[in-house]
Chain A
Amino acid sequence: MSTPVLEIHGVHKSFGTLDVLRGIDLTAQAGTVTVILGPSGSGKSTLLRSINHLEKVDRGRVRLDGELIGYRQAGGKLHELGERHILEQRARIGFVFQNFNLFPHLTALENVAEAPIAALKKPKTQVYDHARELLARVGLADKTDVYPRQLSGGQQQRVAIARALALEPRLILFDEPTSALDPELVGEVLDVLRDLAAAGTTMIVVTHEIGFAREAADTVIFMDEGRIVEQGPPAQVLDHPRHERTQSFLSKVL
């Protein structure tokens, strides 16, 4: 098998006395969709944020295409990378936030074009053309010059997805992308996620949408109290959970 896009090995993280992650191992192959489920406080978001080094891990390693994220290994020690290098690594990982976090003072098009221009130093005209294509791909071709506050929540999240895609990342992380949306707007965002999955985007999605996990995921991971309790194909984890904690969680959300 080729090098996986993402390899996580023995990741630990604590905030003060609270152990949020207690030894996480996870692998994602290119073109696969991994859905992470779990009760709130189980460490799902922290795990996602430690993948692109928004959160510094206490122990363990995260590798993207075999390259260590956030550190350099030399002489049997890990040296934390300088901020510039970390920023370069982050540009290879897309991140979609629960609260969109679009830049409110920039138009939809400027939001999408910002990172390729500033982080990847690509020529502007090329970036803007690509950004328009991406907005069309998420169904917002007519909203390029609109500011985020003039858009609905679902539209804002679709702009945020286009913004993540603009970096042409190796991997996109979604942190509860539909949790801040009104129920009738959830569908339009999930449709975009399904399209991306079908197009072979490598994705890790933290969500509570069991239906989405069932149809789009290659692997479903159930987390509780900072550990991966169970993982496998959706048919196995969702329909025949082996662990009792998975069973009780699913019985509550289904």
Chain B
Amino acid sequence: MSVLSPPRGTGETKTTDELVVPARHPWRWAGTALVLVLLAQLGHGLATNPGWEWGTFTGYFLEKSVIDALLVTLELTLAGAVLGFLGGIPLAAMRLSRNPVLAAVSWTYIWVFRSVPLIVQLLFWANLGYLYDTLQIGIPFGPGWSFSTTNLISSFGAALLGLALHEAAFAGEIIRAGLLSVDQGQHEAAAALGLPRRRQFLRIVLPQAMRAILPNAANLLVNLLKSTSIVYVLAIGELFYQVQVVYGRNGRVVPLLMVATVWYVILTALLSILQYYVERHFARGAVRTLPPTPFQRLKAAIRR
């Protein structure tokens, strides 16, 4: 048992020669009883209220159109996260740079993209063709190729662009915070040993920064997963849009909202488990001994 956990049970233990009687905690019992009663009520309500329509729920939960929509949600989350963090790295590096122009550009980007609500931004990207008929790529002020905006940016492209740009602003700040959390002495030691610049960053600074980056990054990722539901305004068939389509047809609003809700909860749970193990990996050396994982604890409990 860890040192921090309170004494359990009421068993009297013999230490040296005196009997030790653990303190009693009557309010702890009262609190537990209250919470259990409330939980029982909630469970009862979920099971007996016909409004939940659990039959409809199970009918749609694994239905093909819902699963397809779920894949779109995952696709948007994954691509948004990868692009967002790829964008966040240069933004963090620029803000920490000694070059005032780079720092100011990064600061402005983060300011703008944190200020504009995601939904507004998405609508802007979807309507880019209204501002610019064609987009050109080429030598500045020289020759180039032009494309029709509406052909180049599909509604899925607009959604991804909006999510990635929005994410990058937050990811940049999270990465910057992580880099700042690394002790100055570590930079100095790496420099004093003559380690090449890249190696200083990738081998010494970044792994230590990850400790501070990960919990916030996981938060951002979970938030992104749910934010993908906003792209329904662009009529993209992701999870939330799809359940709306279905309940628009059959009028079963509550069970279909539950379908989406339960999927979001399951995905967040998976992300949380992943987060636990990744954080554990980067805790090497930061704590004297790593605490056992829940799985290891379970195995130990069974063996006992």
- Per-residue contact bits, chain B 179-197, to A (CB 8 Å; 1 contact, 0 not): 0000101101111111111
Question: From residue 182 to 228 of chain B, which have CB atoms closer than 8 A to chain A?
Answer: 183, 185-186, 188-197, 199, 203-204, 207-208
Complex CA–CA separation, A194 to B38 (angstroms): 71
Q: In the complex the two chains form, is B191's CB within 8 Å of A87's CB?
A: yes
Q: A106-B285, A149-B286 are in contact. Are A101 and B186 (CB under 8 A)?
A: yes
- Per-residue contact bits, chain A 140-157, to B (CB 8 Å; 1 contact, 0 not): 000000011110000000
Question: Is A99 at the interface (CB under 8 A from chain B)?
Answer: yes
Taking CB atoms, residues of chain A closer than 8 Å to B191 are 54, 87, 90
Q: In the complex the two chains form, is A115's CB within 8 Å of B193's CB?
A: yes
Question: Is B284 at the interface (CB under 8 A from chain A)?
Answer: yes
Question: Is A119 at the interface (CB under 8 A from chain B)?
Answer: yes
Question: Is B120 at the interface (CB under 8 A from chain A)?
Answer: no
Q: In the complex the two chains form, is A167's CB within 8 Å of B286's CB?
A: no
B210 — nearest CB in chain A belongs to which residue? A105
Q: How large is the interface on B (under 10, 10 to 19, 20 to 34, 35 or more residues)?
A: 20 to 34
Question: From residue 105 to 121 of chain A, which have CB atoms closer than 8 A to chain B?
Answer: 105-107, 114-115, 118-119
A53 — nearest CB in chain B belongs to which residue? B191
- Per-residue contact bits, chain B 271-304, to A (CB 8 Å; 1 contact, 0 not): 0000000000010111110000000000000000
Taking CB atoms, residues of chain A closer than 8 Å to B195 are 87, 114-115, 118-119
Q: In the complex the two chains form, is B196's CB within 8 Å of A84's CB?
A: yes
Q: In the complex the two chains form, is B285's CB within 8 Å of A104's CB?
A: yes
Q: Which of B183, B203, B208, B284 contacts A114 (CB 8 A)?
A: B203
Question: Is A163 at the interface (CB under 8 A from chain B)?
Answer: yes
Q: In the complex the two chains form, is A119's CB within 8 Å of B285's CB?
A: no
Q: In the complex the two chains form, is A104's CB within 8 Å of B196's CB?
A: no
Complex CA–CA separation, A95 to B282 (angstroms): 27
Count, A-B residue pairs, CB within 8 A: 78
Taking CB atoms, residues of chain A closer than 8 Å to B188 are 54, 97, 101
Q: In the complex the two chains form, is A90's CB within 8 Å of B192's CB?
A: yes
Taking CB atoms, residues of chain A closer than 8 Å to B189 are 95, 97, 101-103
Complex CA–CA separation, A101 to B183 (angstroms): 9
User: Smallest Cβ distance from A111 to chain B, in angstroms?
Assistant: 9
Taking CB atoms, residues of chain A closer than 8 Å to B207 are 105
Taking CB atoms, residues of chain B closer than 8 Å to A203 are none
Complex CA–CA separation, A149 to B285 (angstroms): 7
Complex CA–CA separation, A92 to B185 (angstroms): 20
A104 — nearest CB in chain B belongs to which residue? B285
Q: In the complex the two chains form, is B287's CB within 8 Å of A149's CB?
A: yes
Taking CB atoms, residues of chain A closer than 8 Å to B194 are 87-92, 115, 119, 167
User: Smallest Cβ distance from A91 to chain B, in angstroms?
Assistant: 3
Complex CA–CA separation, A104 to B282 (angstroms): 11
Complex CA–CA separation, A52 to B189 (angstroms): 12
Complex CA–CA separation, A147 to B288 (angstroms): 8
Q: A90-B191, A104-B208, A149-B287 are in contact. Are A97 and B185 (CB under 8 A)?
A: yes
Q: Which of B193, B199, B287, B288 contacts A91 (CB 8 A)?
A: B193
Question: Is A83 at the interface (CB under 8 A from chain B)?
Answer: yes
Q: In the complex the two chains form, is A105's CB within 8 Å of B284's CB?
A: yes
State the B residues within 8 Å of A (CB): 183, 185-186, 188-197, 199, 203-204, 207-208, 282, 284-288
User: What would 4 more interface pairs be, CB under 8 Å, given A97-B192, A150-B288?
Assistant: A90-B194, A92-B194, A105-B282, A118-B203
State the A residues within 8 Å of B (CB): 52, 54, 83-84, 87-93, 95, 97, 99, 101-107, 114-115, 118-119, 147-150, 163, 167
